Amino acid sequence: MTWVNAVIQGLLLGGQYALIACGLSLTFGVMRIVNLAHGDLAVCGAYLGLVLSSSLGVPVWYVLPLLLPAAFGVGLVLQTLLFGRAMRHGVLAPVLVTFGLSVMIENLLQVAATSDPRGLAGGSLALASFRIGSHITVSWLFMTAFLTACAVLSGLQLLLSRTSWGRKVRATADDPDTARLVGIKVRAVFATVAGTAVATAALAGIFIGTIGTFDPLAGSSTLIFAFEAVVIGGIGSLWGTLVGGMALGVTQVVVGQVNQAYAVLAVHLLFLAVLAVRPAGLFASHQAAREVRGSGALG
Amino acid sequence: MSTAAPEPPLEVTGVDVFYGDFQALFGVSLAVTRGRATALVGANGAGKTTLLRTIAGAQAAASGSVRYAGSDLTAAPPHRRISRGIALVPEGRKLFGSLTVEENILVGAAAAASSDWPLDRIYGTFPMIARRRRQRASTLSGGEQQAVAIARALAAAPTLLLLDEISLGLAPRVVGELYQTLAELREAGATLLIVEQDLRRAMAACDDLVCLLEGRVVLAAPVPAVTREQVVAAYFGLRSREGRT
């Protein structure tokens, strides 16, 4: 029963990883840039949630209608002023720019909010739980995070496959030059994708803050897990990212059941193993798989 | 042939285009009259594709101007040119491989100039791709892909259609079908600018002919006014500038 419990808790934890990772997956899949500040933006979302909920005196869930559009706006501005410009200067420039942004955010947060760990008040939901059988207890908060992750990823997938916006995003991901040539406003597409990515990061940040604690440097470790979920799942596949996140979560909790000291190491070993056997990830789009093989041949 | 010559809808004047230090076009001027088909011919590297991409807005002109239907589009981005009625079928088709045939066509309508080309009219024009509408574009044969590439451009409801090497790598029968479709488009009033390697086919399908040699216009004339030999000479730069009218 402890193993079944470990798998269930692992899947729930994996949902959180997938929620953080989906924005990274989207930016990576569409713009081919790895946003190294993605984890820090999630942490910023948690701090903004803290400020808003404590100044308004309401549980953090009530500030989401303010927080998410603000995060979307931040994504638009970042893409337009920073990432978009960097992308025009080769593949290395976005890496340096997002790394620089990551360092800046972490240091600014330390100055503005000190290094003390903080948590978000999740209201009654944070303490509630339900039982499956007699041995397995599931936290409603974890369940909510998991269901939110599934809803966000499915919603994004539906938007991508069914809407005119999604069609433009996929066309741009396939071939940005031709997309521009057939009349797609590529910069506007990139900006909305970045906005969506930052909004999902902020939402993930709220769950990070309610489930555990966060501090100004929490973004980097968050980023590593998110990045691993994206790579395991396969670049350019949101479903893959969900599966990748769950694979990480289950590995972490199941190995932790044996020996807590090896839990995080096992996650990184899983990542290395997938990278060695299937470098394009488990569910990579054909396009992404080709690119990974192509760059492998060069490097 | 005709009475008073109407104002040309497309006027390219003195266009220079560079790729870094390399100059691809030298003071190229070109006029395409409404309702006519113009063949753009020349050897590999003569600048035909560059000229089409400059007209479509994919390539910036260092100097000179591109005017269409009375407005200066020299600095306009592609989506603005498309909404003014210019659409390009790029060399090598350049379909969005992970999108279905229908999605490719719908993407082409993103900045459409008008609603003159709804899906059913496009499928009526290209019955061979109507059957494949739900299939991924990358799974189609070369001829079908070329038809989708033309359909994607038509979805923008262009009044000027630029076609770059649509017969490349296709069986003669398929090329014949595509040119048949182009002839139908002409009858419906479209203005065409066609880059074509096959000189015989280009001269058969078009009213006017422009020949580029190393980035310069060396011959521009109505097709009936030139012989095949004159065009071949201009094509290879054998007789210097004699064929120019």
Rounded (10°) angle between helices A140-162 and A2-31: 30
Per CB-CB distance under 8 Å, the chain A contacts of B110 are 164, 168, 182-184
Nearest to B94 among A168, A178, A185 (CB): A178
- Average pLDDT over every residue of B48-58: 95
**Dihedral sign for Cα atoms in the order A171, A177, A182, A184:** positive
Residue A93 pLDDT > 90, yes or no? yes
State the pTM of this model.
Answer: 0.90
Domain segments of chain B as ranges:
10-234
CATH architecture observed for domain A3-290 = Orthogonal Bundle (1.10)
What residues are paired with B123 via a beta bridge?
none
- B245 token code pair: 């009218």
CATH H superfamily, domain B10-234: P-loop containing nucleotide triphosphate hydrolases (3.40.50.300)
pLDDT of residue B114: 87
Percent of chain B residues past pLDDT 70, beyond the cut: 94
What residues are paired with B30 via a beta bridge?
B12
Test B108 with A167 for CB contact under 8 angstroms.
no
Confidence of residue A295 (pLDDT cuts 50, 70, 90): very low
Instruction: Name every residue whose Cβ is closer than 8 Å to that of residue A292 and which is 6 or more positions away in sequence.
Output: A235, A279, A280, A284
- Average pLDDT over every residue of B198-222: 92
Q: How far is B94 from A109, CA to CA, in rounded Å?
A: 46
Instruction: Tell me the per-residue pLDDT of B43-52, one tens digit each, with 9 for 90 and over.
Output: 988 999 999 9
pLDDT of residue A293: 57
Distance from CA of A70 to the nearest CA of B (A): 28
Rounded (10°) angle between helices A218-233 and A263-277: 40
Residue A296 pLDDT > 70, yes or no? no
Confidence of residue A297 (pLDDT cuts 50, 70, 90): very low
Domain segments of chain A as ranges:
3-290
What residues are paired with B209 via a beta bridge?
B39, B221
φ, ψ (nearest 5 deg) of residue A50: -60, -50
Confidence of residue A298 (pLDDT cuts 50, 70, 90): very low
**Closest of B210, B212, B176, B154 to residue B37, by C-alpha:** B210
pLDDT of residue A55: 94
Q: DSSP character for B61?
A: -
Q: Return the residue in B53, B54, B73, B79 with the most chain A beta carbons within 10 A, the one to mutate for interface testing.
A: B79
Residue B243 pLDDT > 60, yes or no? no
